[in-house]
Amino acid sequence: MEPTRQQGRVLILAGSDSGGGAGIQADIKAVSALGGFAMTAITALTAQNTQGVFGIEAVPVPFIRQQIQVVLDDLGADALKTGMLHAVPVIEAVCEEIAQRAPGVPLVADPVMVAQSGAALLQPDAVEALTRNLVPLASLLTPNAPEAERLCGLPVADVAGQQRAAEALLRLGARAVLVKGGHLGGAEVSDVLATSDGIEVLSSPRLETKHTHGTGCTLASAIACGLAQGLALRHAVVRARAYLWQALATAPGFGHGQGPVNHVHTVRPFDA
């Protein structure tokens, strides 16, 4: 079979999830399922499954830089997506490489702080570095409610709190912010999208499922894929939310804890 040219090159800078539900693995699946081409610079290795994170091994900072450099020098990128940047030196190195090698390339920054299981994925002293270095580079910042609280210092318990946090994060330098509401209660999940043009609340029915591992990574990568393919920001967000909703609705039910979503529901089975 002749290879097909995939539309939209996305360089993902994030940690690896050995369970396959979150991190780099989820990112690659989401971008591929939406027709994009995924490339990676792995920032950390984790030993995890649906029940928790059992170990983290740091990738040496010079090697993180080298991954970014060789990919951008050869393949280029139409969009970038960051995930787990667990320590100050990693945050600073990644942001330096982005600023030097990919200025003007849209960046979806997912400020990963805590795993779905509750395990910390960001060192306590790194929050300020994340705010100072990464937020101003973001074309779109995608914190969940607890992450938004830590970044801006405001309580986020409802849509009004999401709106206040989004406005505060815009003032910190992000060009757009999506404060996600999956951690909040209610029959609907509301995400607040804030740009210089104003604020919009995007809502969808809440699915009652425990299989939500990697939803933040998946959504951010799906948005980045849309931007890489030339979609306007709002269109990329709306498409990504619809993709994630269906991935949650058709989750395979793997594992004994919070299982993965069905990233490949868009892919037609291949009959040999």
| Phi, psi angle pair for 190, to nearest 5° | -115, 125
* Of residues 262, 238, 265, the one with CA closest to residue 251: 262
- Under a CB-based contact definition with an 8 Å cutoff, are residues 133 and 92 in contact? yes
Q: Which amino acid is it at 111? A: P
Tokens of 120: 């910390």
What 3-state class would DSSP assign to 64?
helix
The whole-angstrom separation of Cα 50 and Cα 271 is 30
Residues carrying an active site annotation = 180, 212, 214-217
The whole-angstrom separation of Cα 34 and Cα 37 is 9
